[in-house]
Chains A and B, each alone.
Chain A
């Protein structure tokens, strides 16, 4: 007779395994990366008993994960995408917060130009002049404050990069270790479910940092690669990533592979890739745009200021100062050459950085992204290389392969300062004064005197305009030129408008104004710099370049938010699909708990029955 007792015991044991698995599932209901497990049962091989087989009970044969490689892989990829979008949105939001904060450049610009106008209204009033210097330093500190907030953000990306690289290295080590343990786990023939879960969870964490490709090998190990196939985990080996300073700008970190090659641009999705993307596509353009505005402001205002005369009777000096473009030598340079760069034409200055390369005979210029840009000149002091509004003079010593990066605008805003502190040095007065001859008998009167080119060599030569007749005149004896009522007379770097009809022998004089302290000619022109197109071939004003920055940063922020919403819903769907298969449902587990509990009780009842039968037999024997 088949052994009813052992059949009952097999049921007890099988139910115990079922109960354990249910318990395990319930315990891990909140474990990240846990995959629901199920127990499979088989009926034991029956015993042949003459004309029939008698069943011998059940065995729990395996505990399996409810797992789909496809769903899990989709979740990793969605994870990378979401993590990238989230990091990008967070970083872009901080740039947005910077420009919407209290340091509003436009307000500072308005205040500054308002103060210039106030000086024009009261050119000798020391209080107005002092107020102008005050507003100038507010403007400069606003530029600096924005610039330094951008710099801090740049530094914080460095921290994020090195933290991410440390985490990647820790995770790849974990994955390679788990590869080894899993291989051993399979050695006994059973599937090490929880180790597989751990490895999947580690890969999931890694995919948040960097987009990975995972391939399953026959030996149950996985190979993890990033970017263009750089292997991070191969069997039980893991490659170590490192950070290294940028070859040009040592203030920023790049990620290098095990061989030392820079792989920053290959990191694609994941939060680390987003950090690099943000730095290249949002932060750098914003900093460059800000620097460009600072350079434009300095250049345009200084140029106009130089055309005026200050209270000491001297020509206006620099009102603002700003540093020359930064030039970085590549750490790989073998030669001793160097490049000196200056901004020669603000109207052509753009927000790009450039890389200059020497191939042994020729220099070539590209943007940092590698796009070739046209360049003129030969690089000498008399004929410098000209690229995008920059002039570059190359000094000998470069060897083939040497390269230099030119950051024309990146840190310009932080190097800005007010050059004058003495209110007397504000050049509010125009450089020239026109006078009507005292013996004039005609009716011509002075109109406006406009300075057109202060650099004209004969600018300061007094000019005597003598009318040889009511319609002709000479300037310092040169002529005659014809004149009609309301004409403008053009001299050496100036124009003078007259109105009315002069008489023969009438004279007008244009000569340096000297210390005409109450003149406001140049102050008016300085106030006009606010509405003067100085950038983009004379189209964009300084103020407009700031609103462009706002638009640029705002658009990047809006796009990042939209992308984050999209990626979040992709991740939610992928997670829902994966969890639908692999997640633990408590109701289901409760039902299974009841099922196995009942099976266990019933098996126990079988044992009781077997005992009863045996007792019956014994009592029959004893009679």
Chain B
């Protein structure tokens, strides 16, 4: 076969150009470490890399969300721990206050201390997070939720809980509204409340109350009327003078009164005509509870009326402490969830990173060896070209 001299030379040049191009492509890849320079190098991997890096960015965002939520929950936890300590303190000084040895003056000084703790508790309710938002205000995080006027505390927030996206489809609450934590606390023992009649003259005091049979308790309003120091009648509160629902006897200075699955522990000696009303618990905020104790201590005289009042409020205080504890448990559970998600997130991140590196990052070992091969090939093509150019019959025509 004939070879055209110029085409032969052109082909040799083309080959060198090709090899030079391949070499430069490998060099480019070695330079920037990318396996895919443009999507056409590997369309499927390029598209997948976009998806994976997006999922990875989303995952990083979840991690940031979790960090911000954890910070907010920790702030809340700290505030609630302090609030719990304050409630404990209130409880212990209240118990001191009901001691029979106290006088009007000493009760007054206890009440003064209680007023201070009340203010402390309100200040805790107005805690702010790192961004300056009130954490117990529901969604009205820019206005102070609790305002105190005398002994009366009002709540200006709402009941909304802020949520955070911790993972796809998983939202975790990053707070609790002040309403949940401080305001909507069930009074009494959580099921019913007992109130001593305002005109009681005996020394009977209702201490602990409990529900002995939840199936019998129907949530109605009842009155316990002492017809003498030892006998009582249970009336429907709506019909205090009608036929009693049941009657019972009370002996000595302590005993229990049971009806409709409810049980009242009574101490002291009632007078005929004394009464106690029993009704379903409604919510009472912790501030009113403390205010109730303060009012009871500040009223002169002490005695059974004060004891009944303080006992009732102590029950409410226990409910408030329990509610705080429950909230802290919930916070703990949420933080666990967030921690778990954060761990999952870092695992997922590792897997995304490795997928992404498989898809887009250069395998240096193979690229380097390819580079050497291509260099050798280019070198060979160049040498062959020079040798071939020297082969001409004209060299001998001298």
Residues of A within 8 A of B (CB): 29-30, 92-93, 96-97, 99-100, 106-107, 109-111, 113-114, 117-118, 120-125, 429, 433-436, 438-441, 445-446, 448, 503, 513, 516-521, 524, 527-528, 530-531, 543-544, 546-548, 550-551, 553-558, 560-561, 572, 575-576, 579-588, 590-591, 593-594
Contact = CB atoms under 8 A, between A and B. Distances in A.
B57 interface: yes
Nearest to B168: A531
Contact of B3 (A30, A107, A530, A585): A585
A517 B142 contact: yes
Nearest to B393: A590
Interface in B27-81: 36-44, 46-48, 50-51, 53-54, 57-58, 60-61, 64-65, 68-69
20 contacts: A29-B5, A110-B53, A110-B54, A124-B141, A433-B139, A446-B161, A516-B140, A517-B139, A517-B142, A518-B139, A520-B163, A524-B171, A550-B43, A554-B43, A556-B40, A557-B40, A575-B7, A580-B1, A585-B4, A590-B393
Given A531-B58, A547-B47, A583-B6, 15 more contacts: A29-B6, A100-B36, A100-B46, A106-B54, A113-B58, A121-B65, A124-B142, A433-B158, A547-B48, A550-B39, A551-B44, A557-B38, A579-B6, A586-B5, A586-B394
B219 interface: yes
A439 B162 contact: no
B47 to A, nearest CB: 4
Contacts of A527: 61, 165
A436 B283 CA distance: 11
A441 B57 contact: no
Nearest to B3: A585
Contacts of A433: 139, 158-160
B2 A558 contact: no
A503 B162 CA distance: 26
B112 interface: no
Interface stretch (B130-138, B196-204, B245-253): B130-138
A446 B159 contact: yes
Contact of B5 (A434, A441, A583): A583
B40 A558 contact: yes
A434 B142 contact: no
Contacts of A544: 51
Contacts of A435: 158-159
A503 B165 contact: no
Interface residues of B, number: 65
A441 B2 contact: no
A353 to B, nearest CB: 24
A109 B44 contact: no
B46 A579 contact: no
A556 B359 CA distance: 19
A371 B58 CA distance: 40
A588 B61 contact: no
A576 B7 contact: yes
A129 to B, nearest CB: 12
B359 to A, nearest CB: 12
B132 to A, nearest CB: 8
Given A125-B131, A434-B159, A100 B51 contact: no
B365 interface: no
Contact of B43 (A117, A558, A575, A588): A558
Contacts of B38: 93, 96-97, 99-100, 554, 557
Contact of B131 (A122, A520, A557, A561): A122
Given A118-B64, A553-B39, A580-B2, A441 B219 contact: yes
B283 A518 contact: no
Given A438-B283, A524-B171, A518 B43 contact: no
A530 B285 CA distance: 42
Given A550-B50, A580-B2, A429 B39 contact: no
A441 B281 contact: yes
B5 A438 contact: no
Contacts of A547: 47-48, 50-51, 54
Contact of A590 (B46, B139, B280, B392): B392
Contacts of B57: 107, 110-111, 114
Contacts of B159: 433-436, 446
A100 B137 CA distance: 48
A297 B283 CA distance: 47
A431 B340 CA distance: 32
Nearest to B190: A443
B139 A438 contact: no
A585 B47 CA distance: 51
B184 interface: yes
Contact of A572 (B11, B134, B162): B11
B282 interface: yes
A548 B47 contact: yes
Given A100-B37, A122-B131, A531-B58, A520 B43 contact: no
Given A109-B54, A580-B2, A96 B392 contact: no
A30 B41 CA distance: 37
A271 B1 CA distance: 32
Given A531-B58, A579-B7, A587 B43 contact: no
Contacts of B37: 100
Closest 9 CB pairs of A and B: A583-B4, A557-B40, A518-B141, A554-B39, A554-B43, A519-B139, A110-B57, A551-B47, A590-B393
